[in-house]
Amino acid sequence: MKYTAPRGTRDLKDREAQAFQALEESARRIFQRYGYEEIRTPVFENVELFKRAVGDTTDIVEKEMYVFEDRGGRKLALRPEGTAGIVRAYLEHAWDKSGGIKKLFYIGPMFRAERPQAGRYREFWQIGAEFFGNPSAQADADVLLLLQDLLAASGLTEVKFLINSIGCAACRPVFREALLKYLDSKQGCLCDDCKRRLARNPLRCLDCKKDMAHFSDAPKMRDSLCGACQAHDQELKGLLTSVQFPYEEAPCLVRGLDYYSRTVFEITAPGLGAQDALGAGGRYDSLVKTLGGPDIPAIGFALGMDRMASAKYGDSLSAGIQPNACSRIFVALAGQGTGMTGFRVLQDLRKAGCTAEIGAPGKSLKAQMRWADAWKAGFVVIVGEEELKRGRVILKNLQKHEQKEIEIENLKSEIEEQREKS
């Protein structure tokens, strides 16, 4: 039987693995600048945590979670998103009792049983952040500026920031009634999912990819906002304008998770096709309380690393790595008693910052040279039995097809000199 990666997953390798590493490194630098601490939560949690936090009527809970029972009969789920686990950790470690703000970021895989397609996987990677304890529009603006800096540091500057307010528990019922009346008049063109949502969560109809085109004349949440939500929304836009932050108002933008309130946003990248959303987030002022904690406001976001890498590197992402040959040095062993010296040379090269590999003792020099060629080496250091008697080795420059015999202590300087000339 031939084993392959499960449908909707893949091995991160070559250029894609390097792209992910670069995204993680740049993200960590920006998070540190903004005062965020890293947290690594379990890949699986109690299934009830996600049902309570994300919402029973969401597609995630209804159709997409990977749920299983362990040997102790406990019902668990692979995490479909990051926020619920972060809030659980926030309460479990009593950070809610510190009386101040808490900023946390995470990097890791999430899991959803969605239909795989370009830019959408069943195992996907996210960079995310959560900001607890600040209810002001200034916190919202700070998160959006963090996002802008993070994307720019990752080489992504041609992006769009879409922003909306979905109100709060005080004003959303007013909008819900207006939306229900509107959707009732559209019954004939609604998909089955939206028809089911009408009774349980009509706001999520606006997030439906199938029916979105039918809702251009739908009621707008901004027309139903209470005074406090209106003031919050206007303050946020004023702050963003004051620092020349580019954003677009998106009056139909909602989020697919139940815990959001007031500010919601989405980041898109032109050129990615139908799956152009790099990430999204928003404010969730009631979630900490919903999960058994005090009434603490919070805001957060998640970015899809898979799509970020695609947006940055395009088609070249799937290409194999073509290493810089000048940076790779292969140590070949030729003759009896060369293994010890060859191993020492290998370690000296690595300590000097070189990428180095060594041939297997007992293999012919011809076989080792084939290995060096397959490894895309730029130089081969031949540690030969006769040369060692004179304290020397042979350095072959595979790019120039040249070789010379040099003293072992001069090896590193000779390689550097030849590199500079390449």
Kindly report the three-state secondary structure assignment for every residue of 5-18: CCCCCCCCCHHHHH
d(Cα 113, Cα 369) in Å, to the nearest integer?
A: 47
Residue that has been written with the tokens 């042979």 in this structure: 394
Using CA of residue 170, residue 55, residue 80, residue 71, what is the dihedral sign?
Answer: positive
Q: What does the block give as tokens for 298? A: 């919070």
Residues of the chain with CATH 3.30.930.10: 14-171+225-318
Confirm if 118 and 231 have CB atoms less than 8 A apart. no
DSSP 251-265: TT---SSTT-EEEEE
- Cα angle 146, 150, 151 (rounded to 5 degrees) comes to 120
Q: What does the block give as tokens for 88? A: 């659980």
* Contact partners, residue 219, CB within 8 Å, separation at least 6: 175, 178, 179, 182
Element (H, E) at 294: none
Residues of the chain with CATH 3.40.50.800: 325-421
d(Cα 69, Cα 58) in Å, to the nearest integer?
A: 21
Q: Kindly state which CATH superfamily the domain 325-421 is placed in.
A: Anticodon-binding domain (3.40.50.800)
Task: Tell me the pTM.
Answer: 0.83
14-171+225-318: what fold? BirA Bifunctional Protein; domain 2 (3.30.930)
Residue-by-residue pLDDT tens, the chain, 422 positions = 999 999 999 999 888 899 999 999 999 999 999 999 999 999 999 999 999 988 876 778 888 999 999 999 999 999 999 999 999 999 999 999 988 899 999 999 999 998 888 778 999 999 999 999 999 999 999 999 999 999 999 989 889 999 999 999 888 888 888 888 888 777 777 787 777 777 677 777 777 777 676 777 788 888 889 999 999 999 999 999 999 999 999 888 877 666 889 999 999 988 766 678 899 999 999 999 999 999 999 999 999 999 999 888 876 665 554 444 457 899 999 988 899 999 999 999 998 888 999 998 889 999 999 999 999 899 999 999 999 999 999 999 998 899 999 999 999 888 888 877 76
- Cα angle 302, 111, 165 (rounded to 5 degrees) comes to 35
